Amino acid sequence: MTGDLIQFALMGKYIGAGLATMGLGGAGIGVGTIAGNFLSGALRNPSAAPGQMANLFVGIAFAEALGIFSFLIALLLMFAV
């Protein structure tokens, strides 16, 4: 009986880790929005684009950070719980 419970808990752990990776989709949407808007802006005014590269990368990094937290939760579920 306890063996079944442990199997059940393991199942929940793996399902949870899989679900947690879905958060990375949000990061993908965010990074795509930033890069796409940068590109459309850069094509309108190419001379201003090189000066904004730093802002582009910082924006991407901040958007990515929130997705990385879900990756962290997946890792915690897999290896720490």
Q: Tell the smallest beta-carbon distance from residue 62 to other proteins (Å).
A: 8
Q: Alpha-carbon distance 58 to 19, whole Å?
A: 27
Q: Tell the smallest beta-carbon distance from residue 15 to other proteins (Å).
A: 19
Cβ proximity of 17 and 81 under 8 Å: no
Q: Alpha-carbon distance 63 to 2, whole Å?
A: 43
- Build a one-symbol-per-residue string for 26-65: x at contacts with other proteins by CB under 8 A, - elsewhere: ----------------------------x--xx-xx--xx
Amino acid identity, residue 8? F
**What residue ranges bind other proteins (CB under 8 A)?**
54, 57-58, 60-61, 64-65, 68-69, 71-72
